[in-house]
Amino acid sequence: MKAFQHLEVWFVTGSQDLYGEETLKQVAVHSKEIADSLHADPAIPLNVIFKPTVKSSEEIYAVCAAANASTACIGIITWMHTFSPAKMWIRGLNILQKPLLHLHTQFNRDIPWSTIDMDFMNLNQSAHGDREFGFIMSRMRLKRKVVVGHWQDPLVIGKISNWMRAAAGWSDWQGARFVRFGDNMRYVAVTDGDKVEAEMKFGYSVNTHGIGDLVKVINEVTDASVETLVHEYAERYQLMPVLQKGGERHGALKDAAKIELGLQYFLEKGNYKGFSDTFEDLHGMKQLPGIGAQRMMGKGYGFAGEGDWKTAALVRAMKVMGTGLQGGNSFMEDYTYHFDPANPLVLGSHMLEICESIATGKPNCEIHPLGIGGKEDPVRLVFNAGAGPALNASVVDMGNRFRLLVNEVEAVAPFAELPKLPVARVLWKPYPNMNDGCAAWILAGGAHHTCYSQNLTSEQLEDFAEIAGIEYVKIGKNTDIYQFKNELRWNDAAYK
Ligand code: MN
């Protein structure tokens, strides 16, 4: 079963009429074999659909128009088995609205030393045919992913798969709706931004509802459905004794369940893929949504606090990209540092809302006071997240462009109990090291809010940024602050 059973990428092979029927027949047989092999590969997360060889401007235009019109098709893979004069591609590429991966491969892996002749040479021309195609894409200043190598090489298949996941996240954003309950946290800069530009650039819309609209839905939730959900909490989580049935705070657990159900109904009814809220606008709410926001994220919705719609949308896209992979993706905030020179760490968390998809073991369900918001104590899930490679990603609005910033990190398991910390938490070491990683993040204007991912790679996010046509900046093992500052400076010039 494919992770994205309903999605397709089309495999399109370019050629021309010059070669005669026999060669073109061979081209089609080889192309189909490659497309079918990719389709059958368990590492490929969606359906690869073979398309007949395109040999003229008209056929190229037609396949690009069909790809645009197909709701299942989220991108095309192109390959020039033979030579396909690339002026034929101009009209088609001009209208293509779907992501493109240029697979620079050839059918045979090795040169058949003892039998190679001119017929073989005429059939197997991708080494120069793909260069002709590459030129026209560069000449037209078109973004694409170029993957080079034999089509059966697992590394090649892995890169194709990465790009497909990025394309799936991108496709999910097109026409997506996100709702903000209340506005931006007062005076906060990085969570704000241009929603009109975002809709033009990213394809998703962000619109506001007064918190009262949500409160109305929450108030209509039935006691029976609250009972059912409270029962599910008791099954899935370790409930603090006071929250259990008969406990003195059991009423607060019911209130939290009612908020979660209200959120769920509101999002389903409005066909929303994510939301943000703010503790500064909770009129009529009993608690700031804690467990409710955590579990909505667990179900695949995007979320970020304090009106941060950019991060909410990013969390959603990254959850889609990670479909079917081990590990999770969560809203995150760099909270507190451990500056021990022998073992420097960042403690990531939020007031409440960390997604249970990154939890190790069975989360605790707890109730504690919250200093801000002025509401009753919120119920929340408390847990640790596991060790291993991870990353933080942030989209910031630089005024004249959006920037996707990624920091690769190494998560570490907590080495001490944190008995008084009432929130879910993660510990990580940023690459290339604590000081340079944090310095680079600050220099790049990265937000304090991020999406933390256990199952995506920086390459997938780079593909995503390329598809979106936005700036991509990575902080990783090889980041050097001097070069990094130059990169930011040069990018500023490039986007002028
Ligand atoms: Mn925050």
- 408 C-alpha vs ligand 1 centroid, how far in Å? 21
What residue has token string 């080494």?
127
Q: At what angle do helices 154-173 and 458-468 cross, to 10 degrees?
A: 50
Average the pLDDT over 4-24 and give the result: 95
- 349 C-alpha vs ligand 1 centroid, how far in Å? 9
- 340 C-alpha vs ligand 1 centroid, how far in Å? 25
Cα–Cα distances in Å, from 475 out to 222, 244, 337, 426? 48, 45, 18, 19
- 1 C-alpha vs ligand 1 centroid, how far in Å? 38
3-state secondary structure of 274: strand
- 53 C-alpha vs ligand 1 centroid, how far in Å? 52
- 292 C-alpha vs ligand 1 centroid, how far in Å? 16
What residue has token string 């369900």?
365
Residue 465 tokens read as 């940024």
Average the pLDDT over 469-489 and give the result: 98
Predicted confidence (pLDDT) per residue in 99-113, tens digit: 999 999 999 999 999
- 284 C-alpha vs ligand 1 centroid, how far in Å? 22
pLDDT above 90: residue 372: no
- 449 C-alpha vs ligand 1 centroid, how far in Å? 6
- 222 C-alpha vs ligand 1 centroid, how far in Å? 31
- 439 C-alpha vs ligand 1 centroid, how far in Å? 20
- 31 C-alpha vs ligand 1 centroid, how far in Å? 50
* Structural contact between residues 382 and 364, judged by C-beta atoms closer than 8 angstroms: yes
Predicted confidence (pLDDT) per residue in 397-427, tens digit: 999 999 999 999 999 999 899 999 999 999 9
Cα–Cα distances in Å, from 382 out to 232, 349, 356, 367, 411? 16, 10, 9, 10, 17
> Which strand ranges, in their side-by-side order, compose the sheet holding 238-239?
238-239, 364-367, 379-382
> If 0-12 CB within 10 Å is exposed, 13-18 middle and 19+ buried, where does residue 160 land?
buried
- 403 C-alpha vs ligand 1 centroid, how far in Å? 19
Q: To the nearest whole percent, how much of the chain has pLDDT over 90?
A: 98
CA atoms within 13 A on the CB side of 199: 9
| Mean pLDDT, the chain, whole residue set | 97
- Full 3-state SS string of 32-59: HHHHHHHHHCCCCCEEEEECCCECCHHH
Cα–Cα distances in Å, from 265 out to 199, 243, 259, 269, 493? 25, 24, 10, 6, 46
CA atoms within 13 A on the CB side of 279: 17
* Structural contact between residues 407 and 391, judged by C-beta atoms closer than 8 angstroms: yes
Nearest C-alpha neighbor of 133 from the set 99, 95, 86, 90 = 86
Amino acid 214: pLDDT = 98
- 450 C-alpha vs ligand 1 centroid, how far in Å? 9
Please give the Cα distance from 254 to 265 (Å, whole number). Answer: 16
Annotate 276-289 with b (16+ C-beta within 10 A) or e (fewer). Answer: bbbbebbeebbbbb
Amino acid 271: pLDDT = 98
Predicted confidence (pLDDT) per residue in 333-349, tens digit: 999 999 999 999 999 99
Predicted confidence (pLDDT) per residue in 211-224, tens digit: 999 999 999 999 99
pTM of the model: 0.97
Q: To the nearest whole percent, how much of the chain has pLDDT over 70?
A: 100
- 18 C-alpha vs ligand 1 centroid, how far in Å? 62
Predicted confidence (pLDDT) per residue in 200-210, tens digit: 999 999 999 99
- 308 C-alpha vs ligand 1 centroid, how far in Å? 8
- 100 C-alpha vs ligand 1 centroid, how far in Å? 36
What residue has token string 């009612």?
258
- 306 C-alpha vs ligand 1 centroid, how far in Å? 6
DSSP 19: G
- 392 C-alpha vs ligand 1 centroid, how far in Å? 15
* Structural contact between residues 329 and 452, judged by C-beta atoms closer than 8 angstroms: yes
- 409 C-alpha vs ligand 1 centroid, how far in Å? 20
- 350 C-alpha vs ligand 1 centroid, how far in Å? 6
- 359 CA to centre of own chain: 19
Please give the Cα distance from 424 to 241 (Å, whole number). Answer: 19
pLDDT above 90: residue 152: yes
Amino acid 373: pLDDT = 85
- 481 C-alpha vs ligand 1 centroid, how far in Å? 27
- 174 C-alpha vs ligand 1 centroid, how far in Å? 26
Amino acid 320: pLDDT = 98
- 305 C-alpha vs ligand 1 centroid, how far in Å? 6
Q: At what angle do helices 309-321 and 195-202 cross, to 10 degrees?
A: 20
- 448 C-alpha vs ligand 1 centroid, how far in Å? 7
Amino acid 347: pLDDT = 98
Amino acid 283: pLDDT = 95
